[in-house]
Homo-oligomer: A and B are copies of this chain.
Amino acid sequence: MSDFQKLQVTQRSKIKRLPKRGSQEKELIYSILDEALIAHVGFVNNEQPFVIPMAYGRKSDRLYLHGSSVSRLLKTLEQGVDVCINVTLLDGLVIARSLFHHSMNYRSVVLFGKAKIIKDEEGKMSALKAITEQMISGRWNEARIPNQKELKATNVLSFEIKEGSAKIRTGAPSDDAEDYSLPYWAGELPLKLTSGNPIRDPKLSDGITVPENIANYQRGV
């Protein structure tokens, strides 16, 4: 596979533990980023690490974050500090005969870089659309778009996806040879984020039905 289809490997992004579980393939990394809803954003402020869960959106090789223009978090990220972003999908429990070999099946992406503030209105709207569509595909055209006052109150950050990796575990447990005869159940328990029935806003006007993209909501399809 050619290099432009892969993210960069650097000292900080190199996978040292269980490297066979790792990958730099953009296609795989984007598929994980597109299925998840929450990114855990890590940064340092006065030598203190912070980890904040944030909604986000991806479009092409950019990941977009947003927040109130008076937020301390956004103000810190805007300064161009080093950021580490982790996005993790939990796919199941791995249940072994020995407790030592219990594990989880997961797909996880870690990215390194710096975020930049988007100043121009067109770029800001495009990024906000990516964040909206990440949450509910098609929603941008089914609600009132941001007005000037709202745009001013929102800061939007752009993060280039170029350095990082995915790490994945799938499949059955791997027990020690002598443990396979033990009388304990072993296997996988699949886990998935699933949606329940939509709950109408009590203040919803009569006669408005649930759109198809909310009624049949699914992640990872």
Contacts and interface: CB of A to CB of B under 8 A. Distances in A.
A185 B203 contact: no
A189 B183 contact: no
A200 B184 CA distance: 11
Contacts of A8: none
A49 interface: yes
Interface of A: 12, 16-17, 37-38, 40-44, 47-53, 55, 68, 71-73, 82-86, 88, 90, 92-93, 95-100, 102, 104, 106, 108, 110, 112, 128, 132, 135-136, 139-140, 142-147, 150, 154, 172-173, 179-205, 208-211, 214, 217
A99 B180 contact: no
A198 B75 CA distance: 46
A201 B108 CA distance: 23
Given A53-B86, A185-B210, 4 more contacts: A40-B42, A92-B196, A97-B143, A191-B196
Contacts of A196: 92, 189-192
A199 B193 CA distance: 18
Number of copies: 2
B192 A193 contact: yes
B143 A184 contact: yes
A184 B144 contact: yes
A193 B193 contact: yes
A193 B203 CA distance: 28
Question: A-B pairs with the 7 shortest C-beta distances?
Answer: A42-B51, A190-B196, A40-B40, A186-B201, A51-B86, A42-B42, A42-B49
Contacts of A47: 44, 82
A187 B172 contact: no
A48 B202 CA distance: 47
Contact of A190 (B108, B190, B195): B195
Given A49-B44, A51-B51, A198-B189, A179 B144 contact: yes
Contact of A150 (B50, B100, B188, B204): B100
A17 B49 contact: no
A95 B194 CA distance: 17
